[in-house]
Amino acid sequence: MSLTQDTLFTRIIRREIPADIVYEDNLAIAFRDINPQAPVHILVVPKEPIAQLSDAESQNHALMGHLLLTVKRVAAQLGLENGYRVVINNGADGGQTVPHLHLHLLGGRPLLWPPG
Ligand code: AMP
C-alpha cells in the first residue's frame, strides 16, 4: 500500500497509532471510538481502505457482509443483549470525517430516533 492511501485507520491497523482494539481478523478490525457517543461505541473497519460506502463495488460483496457479521459478533462479545445501533456516515452530508469506511456500533443505553 502506498503512503497516499494512508488514513488514520490504516495507521491504527498497522499499530502506528494506539487504539483500544476489541476484535481483529484478516479482513477487519474493531476498536473503541476515541470520542464515544454511548457507553459502548466501537468502530468496525475493513483493512482494505475503501474510502466510503458509496465507493464499495460488487467485488466487495463478501467483505460488506463480513463487516455486518463482525458488528454482530462484537456486539455479542461486549454484552449488548438489549440491542444496539449500527451507523455508516457516508460523505460530507452524512457527517463522515475519516475517509476510510467504518461502521459505528453504538449501545449500552437507549438511543433516540431520529438522529440529528
Ligand atoms: P465519522 O465521523 O463517521 O467519519 O467517524 C469517525 C470517528 O472516528 C469519530 O467518531 C471519531 O471520534 C473517531 N476517531 C477519530 N480518531 C480516532 C482515533 N484515533 N481512535 C479511535 N477513534 C477515532
The whole-angstrom separation of Cα 74 and Cα 38 is: 15
- What residues have CB less than 8 Å from 75, skipping those under 6 apart? 84, 105, 107
CA 85 to ligand 1 center in whole angstroms: 16
Report residue 78 as a C-alpha cell: 461486549
102: annotated active-site residue: yes
Catalytic residue, from 66, 100, 102, 104: name it.
102
Atom of ligand 1 nearest to the CA of 37: 10
Cα-to-centroid distance, 33 and ligand 1 (Å): 6
CB atoms < 10 A from the CB of 69, how many?
Answer: 12
Each residue of 2-16: pLDDT tens digit? 445 689 999 999 999
pLDDT score, position 1: 42
pLDDT above 90: percentage of residues in the chain = 93
- Whole-prediction pTM: 0.96
Q: Which residue ranges have their beta carbon within 6 Å of ligand 1?
A: 8, 17, 19, 33-35, 43, 89, 95-98
Question: Is 112's pLDDT higher than 90?
Answer: yes
Residue 61 CA, ligand 1 centroid: distance in Å: 24
Mean pLDDT calculated for residue range 82-100? 98
